[in-house]
Amino acid sequence: MTHVIYTHQQLQHKSIADLKQIYSDIGCTVELGNRYSKNAWIAAIAQHQAQRIHRIAPAALDEQAQAQEELENFIAQQAEEIAPESLTVREISFYEQEYYAGERLIATITYDGEDFVTQRWVVMVNRQEIHRHYAPEGCDRFIHWKYLDGKLPVQEQSVRETSTGNEVMAEIATECEKRGLELLDDGVYKDNYKLGEVELRQGILWAIRAESRERVMCDRGVDAVWWLSTANASSAEEYLQYHPLEQLKNYHWEQLFIGAELVAV
C-alpha cells in the first residue's frame, strides 16, 4: 500500500487533529515524546516517511527524493526543539519557587497574602500575573503545560532588576528614616528590635515580619515599611496622616481594626 508523501510545508499548515489523523492513516508507530506538541507530531510523521519504502511510479521519483530530503533536514533541525530542556525548581521559600530551563529563569510561583483572595498561588512572568490557582500544584501544572506547548511568555532576564532594586531600596531607606526606623543589612529595626525584612525578588516586593514570618506582596517600598511597622498597632493611625482612605489596602484596614480593638479594651 502506498501513502501520500507530505512535505514539511504541508505538515506545518495542518492542525494537531489533522496530524493525528495522518499519523494513524500512514500506520506510523514512532513514539511521541509530547503528544501536545505540534512539532512532535510532525517529526514523528517525518521520521516514519524517512524510514518507510514507498512503492511509487517512476515519474514521481524526483518529487519523492526532494520531499524526502526536505523532511530529513527538518528532523535534524527540530531534534532539540522537540525534546525541550526539562525544568528544575528552586525553592526560595515556602511562599516562592522559581522555575528554570537550564540556567534560564522562565517563571515564578508566589503567594498572595491579601485578604478575601481564594486563589492565592500566582504564576508570575516578567513581574506580571499570568495565572492563579488555589494550590501550588495547579500553578506547577500550568507552567509545565505552557512550557511544553511553547506558549509560556518569554521571561526577560534580569536586565533592569538592579536599577529597579536600587530605586526600591532608596524608597525604603527614606521611609524608614521618616518613621524613625533603622534599615540594616539584615532587616528593619526600631529601638534595636527587629521588625522584619524587605525582599525584592524578580521584581516582586515582599515584606516579612520577624516574629511570625508572615509575608505579604507590596506595591511600593512605602507600603512594605508601613506593614512591618504595624507590629505596633498605633502606627496604623500614623499611616492615615500621609495617605487618603482610598489608597488603603486590605492589610491596612486589618491593622486599623486591630488598633481600634486594642483601644476599646
* pLDDT tens string 107-130: 999 888 776 788 989 999 988 899
Alpha-carbon gap, residue 96 to 108, rounded angstroms: 7
Q: For a pLDDT cut of 90, what percent of the chain falls above it?
A: 14
Distances from the Cα of 71 to the Cα of 31, 56, 96, 128, angstroms: 17, 18, 44, 39
Q: Are residues 56 and 94 in the same domain?
A: no
Question: What is the mean pLDDT of the segment spanning 139-145?
Answer: 93
195 found inside a domain = yes
Residue 207 DSSP SS3: strand
Q: Sorting pLDDT into bands at 50, 70 and 90, what band is 102? A: confident
Q: For residue 62, what pLDDT is reported?
A: 66
Grid cell digits, residue 245: 482612605
Q: How confident is the model at residue 135 (pLDDT cuts 50, 70, 90)?
A: very high
pLDDT confidence of residue 253: 57
Listed residues 49, 82, 115: the one ending a domain: 82
> In which element (H, E) is residue 122 found?
strand 121-125
Structural domain boundaries enclosing 99: 87-149
List pLDDT tens digits, range 193-252: 889 998 887 677 888 888 878 878 787 888 889 888 886 544 445 555 555 555 555 555
One domain for residues 136 and 175: no
| 34 and 106 part of one domain | no
CB 202 within 8 A of CB 216: no
Write down which residue in 56, 82, 108 finishes a domain. 82
Q: Are 7 and 41 in contact (CB under 8 A)?
A: no
2 occurs within a structural domain:
no
Mean pLDDT of 44-63: 66
- Distance from C-alpha of 152 to C-alpha of 100, rounded to nearest angstrom: 13
Given a contact cutoff of 8 angstroms between Cβ atoms, the answer to whether 111 and 129 are in contact is no
What is the reported pLDDT for 16? 86
* 233 and 210 within one domain: yes
- The total of structural domains in the chain comes to 3
Higher pLDDT, 102 or 259: 102
246 occurs within a structural domain: yes
Residues 67 and 100 placed together within one structural domain of the fold: no
Confidence of residue 72 (pLDDT cuts 50, 70, 90): confident
Same domain, 58 and 16: yes
